[in-house]
Amino acid sequence: MKEILTNNRDETQKFAADVAALSRPGLVIALNGDLGVGKTTFTQGFSRALGVTARVKSPTFNIMNTYRTRHFPIYHFDAYRLEETGAQDQGFEDYVGTDGVTLIEWPQYMADLLPNDRLELTFTRGNQDDSRSIYINGVGSAAAIERQL
């Protein structure tokens, strides 16, 4: 487990760009943490680093958005609304951990669909308004990514 501290959204997006540079198709990134802590901000920085120009926002109502890049698709989930219904029988397994990189906000609501090998990022608020601690836990093959960050 590693921890990094960011002091503002730009630093979180810079960190996301570092993660993007190490990402390969099939990687799943679980983005843990409360509302407003920076999960979507991270996804914006990640996507932009791979050349996405579309505006990235939380797919709260449609659960998943896809962004095309030159390298691989990005599947961006916000599982918050699955708290009640669960994630079964919606075809999400056709995306998670397949040909793209999958980023999942509120991953606890799609726990059954998460592969064992994954990068777990946990965001918490720091002492200052704009500071965040990000805990990095690379599980299985994602341990190599944690080591390089």
Residues lying near ligand ADP in the complex (CB under 6 A):
6, 8-9, 11-12, 33, 35-41, 58, 105, 130-132
Mention every residue, 6+ apart, whose C-beta is less than 8 A from residue 108: 32, 79
According to the binding rule CB under 5 A, does residue 39 interact with Mg ion? yes
Residues of this chain, 3-32, that bind Mg ion according to CB under 5 A? none
Question: Which is nearer to ligand ADP, 37 or 96 (by Cβ)?
Answer: 37
The single residue among 9, 11, 58, 122 that binds Mg ion, judged by CB under 5 A, is 58
Residue type, 97: G
Distance of alpha carbon 117 from alpha carbon 4, whole angstroms: 21
Query: CB-based contacts of 129: which residues, under 8 Å, 6+ apart?
Result: none
- Residue among 117 and 130 whose Cβ is closer to ligand ADP: 130
* Residue among 59, 51, 56, 99 nearest 78 (CA): 59
Task: Name the residues that contact Mg ion, by CB under 5 A.
Answer: 39-40, 58, 105
